[in-house]
Each structure stands twice: as structure tokens, then as C-alpha cells.
Amino acid sequence: MISEKPGNVLLNLLPVFIFLMMSVLSCTTEPPTPKDLSKENLIPKPVSLTATGSSFRLTDKTGIYVQSPAAGPNELTRIGQYLADKLKPATGFEMLVQATGQAPPSGHIYLAVPSNDPELGEEGYELNITEEQVKLSANTPAGLFRGLQTIRQLLPAAIEREELQPGPWEIATGIIRDYPAYAYRGSMLDVSRHFFGVEDVKRYIDLIAFYKMNAMHLGLSNDQGWRIEIKSWPNLATHGGSTEVGGGKGGYYSQEEYADIVQYAQDRYITIIPEIDMPGHTNAALASYPELNCDGQAPELYTGIKVGFSTLCTRKDITYQFVDDVIRELAALTPGPYIHIGGDETHVTATEDYIYFINKVQDIVNAHGKQMAGWDEITIASLKPTSVAQFWSSADHAKAAVEQGAKIIMSPATKTYLDMQYDSTTALGLHWAAYVEVDSAYIWDPATFVDGVSKEDILGIESPLWSETITNMDEIEYMVFPRLAGHAEIGWTPAADRNWEEYKVRLGHHKARFEAMGVDFYPSGLVPWVEAVSDDMPLKD
């Protein structure tokens, strides 16, 4: 809105002035600013970093070259375009992305695969920054994508803002070699207790991608809601998805919407793991089809927050027709290797019926080409080594997984449950497991958390957000951040390199990044938060 008052004329000219200043800066022959790469506040902390003291400056002349034998758009140029799109709003630079068969001219960003560097593995990368070039190399496109997040964090926090910023846009020079400690680093969003639309899920995916996570577990069904269209059992979504905790309107994803979420995650090298919780936590399904109930009576829809009161009828044939149809349709929509079948809190299912059920469902999941995942109770059944147990509460169950050769995802409720209140004053969340402040969420090591479970038994770490008390994106962000940044570091950075006193200082510098990304984070009193510096401040418009 152009204001009329003369005093504001200057204000309205400010963006023009900035653009002119930037243009002068960008073609300035000013010597590179000295910068110390070792002073940057990267999360997760990289495995190794060598600083060389100078800086590379992005200008409106900087392009993105992608080493690629094939000219024209391909997966690698798409990754380059992702970076160009991320950098444009704040810098105003239209960065040209082009494929090249040989080393590009100096002054540009260069993305190169394969680098045939075994130490980097599947997701590692090397970032070699000089005054003339930013070269990011990796063995795979996923490794490049992880390295892009480091480039974002090496630029001033203002790079994350949606409106033009003054810059300058300088990246400290040096070499970073980096790769994750665990293959699985994820978060879980419970979209059943309260339903969250596609845009919220996509934002959640963007935020965990920024911290190099690679797995997004979606809690698609529970007592209070069924959230995914199943064409062979349509009432599951239309009736079972028609409400939520507190009696709101609920909702569900059509199969097209679910496929859109899967693609969005895949474009960020994040695997979607869908969960259909069973045989417990099934009131929404039972309310949708009377024939699924042992007594043939469909219960009312449930909008409270009790757990453990429902079960599928584990000795009825139709139950396994239902499971097979659901898994078949879901597997066809899910490129990732896992289908999570829940299995938790089955307080009204007899143990022998539970074991019978889990063993049959494991066969059904495998028959549809997927590996079964489930909460740690599933370990009382006969797990195949391809199945994965998600440890949340029982050390005995975790050890039983090891005995059966099944891998473990570590999600101890006392450390990773993002619905746990920070302390007794937190307005949102629960505290049945513990109050989990930011330090407590960080100060633990998955490899030593359960006696008898070692690093080799662990696939990785996941932080679940249960949504009994969470109703919108701001509330999600308040409970997830900043604790998830610490979980991402636990999944990526070797335990020997992790220390709360050092980490909290780096985290303090992410306030400006949270603010730039519009994340409604919890400003814990335990973290020395740092105000955004001048080049991070938004322009007064």
C-alpha cells in the first residue's frame, strides 16, 4: 500500500534504495569478507569441518551448475532448482540452474554426483567452499539434498525470509565432510486425534527436511479418526473420519491427497511411513462397519482421549479381509519400505489373540511387498528380521526385538514424545511419561538407552507428536521446536561429538532461523537465545 503522507515517501522508496545498494554490492570488487566457518551454528553438527578464514559471496551473477552427463531437466537439476527457489525470495537473485559435463567457471555453486566417496555413504556430502566456488558433492542425490540444508544454514538467517533482505550473502570458506550416524531419522505426526490438512503436513515435512531428517511417520488411524480413503471400505473415511478429539469436523486424505504428500516428501528425500493402528485403537473403523465388531454392533464415534478400550475381532475371517484390503491399497500408494501397523495398548485383546493377529498381519504386509513396523508390543509375537519394532516404553520388548533379529526405532516417551509438556506450566500436551525440557530431550544416547540394545540393533530415532491436545500448526510448532532440532542431531551426529553445553549455544543462534521461517517455537529458559543480527532483521516495510 503506497502511503500518501510525504514523511512516508522515503519509506516507500526504501526497497528501491536497497535494490540499488544490492546492485552496487553485487558488482563490487570489494575483497571477500573474512569469515570463520568453525564459528557457524550448524544443526546437526557436522562430522568434520576445516575453516580457511575467507568467504564466498553470492551475487546476482551466481548460478547453479549441476554435474550431469544428461543435459536438460533431471533429478539433479531439480535439486539445483530447489536451492535456487529457496535463495530467491530473500536475495532477489534469479539463479540460473544448468547441467554441465565438466567443471563450471568460477563464481558459482556446483552440485556434483556421484563422488564415489565410500565414507560419505548414502546421505553424506562434502562441501568445499572457496572464494571462487561452492562445490557440493555426494554419492547420491539424497546426499546432495542433505548438503543443501548446510548451505542454507551457512547463509545469514535472513535467507529464510520470504521478502527481500539487504544481504550481503556470504558463506564462510572451508571444507565440511559430513554423514549421518543413523539411517532412520524421523518424526511422527498423529493426524487422527486431530486432523491436519495437506498444507500443514507439507510444512511439517519442510521443517524436518531443514534438519536433515529423512522419515515422516503419519498416524492415519486411531480411535478418534480414520484419515485415509480406502476405496474398498469407503465408510472408514466418510464416517470414521467425520470427527476428532473434542467433536470437531475431523477430515481425511483422499488417495490423491495422500499421493501428493508422498511425492512432496519424496522430492525432499523423506520417506513416508503410514500407520494403521491395530488391533487396538480401532474405534473409528469399528464404528464404520458393524461386521468388524465381535458382537456385530458398531460403537458410536469417540471424541475423548482414553486409550486401550477397542479391539478388532481377531478370530473373524472378515477382519483379515479388511486388513488385507487396507494394506493392499495403502501399499500401492506408499513407495517406502514400511507399513506401520501400530499394535500398541491392546488392553482388551487377549494375549494369544493378539499374537495370532500380529503374526497374520505381518504375513499380509509382507505379501504386499512391505516390511512391517509396529510399536514395541509387537515383539511378543514372532517377528521376522525384516520387521521393525518402535521402542516407546518397554525395555523388555526392545530386548525381545533384538533376540528376534528385528531392528529398533528408538522413540523413548521420556525423551522423544513431543506431546510431553516442557514443564508443569506448558498449556499444551500431557505429562504421563515425563516433563521434557529442551535439555532433557537432548541429553541421551540411543545406543546406550536400553541395556541389551546397542547401536547395531538400532535403525534410528523418531520423535512422535501425538495430537490429543494439539489442534493447529502453531501448536504443532510450539511442541516440536526446538526439541526436534536436538533429536535431528542425535540421529545424525556421533554421540562423542554431542554435548548439551556446546549444543545449546548453537541452538540459541537458531532463534533467528525459527523467526525467519515463521516457526512458533518454545523459547525455553535453558537456551541462551541470540537476537537476530542486523543482516537478519526484516526490513521495516
* Closer to ligand IFG by Cβ: residue 150 or 222: 222
* Closer to ligand IFG by Cβ: residue 401 or 516: 401
Q: Which of 344, 462, 477, 515 binds ligand IFG (CB under 6 A)?
A: 344
Least distance CB 380 / ligand IFG (angstroms): 15
Least distance CB 224 / ligand IFG (angstroms): 10
Least distance CB 186 / ligand IFG (angstroms): 15
Task: Identify the helix (H) or strand (E) that includes residue 55.
Answer: strand 48-58
Nearest residue to 185 (alpha-carbon basis) of 489, 498, 510, 466: 489
Nearest residue to 220 (alpha-carbon basis) of 392, 314, 335, 342: 342
* Closer to ligand IFG by Cβ: residue 166 or 342: 342
Least distance CB 411 / ligand IFG (angstroms): 8
Q: Does 307 help bind ligand IFG (rule: CB under 6 A)?
A: yes
Active site residue 256: no
* Closer to ligand IFG by Cβ: residue 87 or 479: 479
Q: Which of 345, 457, 489, 536 binds ligand IFG (CB under 6 A)?
A: 345
* Closer to ligand IFG by Cβ: residue 205 or 245: 245
Number of neighbours of residue 25 by Cβ within 10 angstroms: 16
Site for ligand IFG in 393-452 (CB under 6 A): 417, 419, 430
Q: Does 223 help bind ligand IFG (rule: CB under 6 A)?
A: no
Residues 424 and 408: their CA atoms lie apart, in Å, by 31
Backbone dihedral region for residue 181 (phi beyond 0: left; psi -120 to 50: alpha; all else: beta): alpha
Contacting residues for 36 by C-beta, under 8 A, at least 6 apart: 51, 53, 172
**Long-range CB pairs of 78-82, under 8 A, 24+ apart, other chains included:** 78/267, 79/111, 79/141, 79/144, 79/145, 79/148, 80/109, 80/111, 82/145, 82/148, 82/267
Number of residues that bind ligand IFG (CB under 6 A): 9
Q: Does 466 help bind ligand IFG (rule: CB under 6 A)?
A: yes
* Closer to ligand IFG by Cβ: residue 55 or 390: 390
Least distance CB 373 / ligand IFG (angstroms): 12
Least distance CB 448 / ligand IFG (angstroms): 22
Question: Active-site residue among 345, 377, 468, 515?
Answer: 345
Residue 444 is placed in which grid cell? 541421551
- Taking a C-beta distance cutoff of 8 angstroms, is the pair 65, 78 a contact? no
* Closer to ligand IFG by Cβ: residue 345 or 462: 345
Residues 277 and 363: their CA atoms lie apart, in Å, by 16
* Residue 176, helix vs strand vs coil: strand
Amino acid (one-letter) located at 231: K
Q: Which of 264, 392, 478, 481 binds ligand IFG (CB under 6 A)?
A: 392
Contacting residues for 114 by C-beta, under 8 A, at least 6 apart: 138, 139, 140
Beta strand residue intervals within 343-410, DSSP E: 371-375, 388-391, 407-410
- Taking a C-beta distance cutoff of 8 angstroms, is the pair 35, 57 a contact? no
Phi then psi for 533, rounded to 5 degrees?
A: -80, 175
Least distance CB 374 / ligand IFG (angstroms): 9
Q: What residues are annotated to the active site?
A: 345
Give contact residues for ligand IFG (rule: CB under 6 A): 307, 344-345, 375, 392, 417, 419, 430, 466
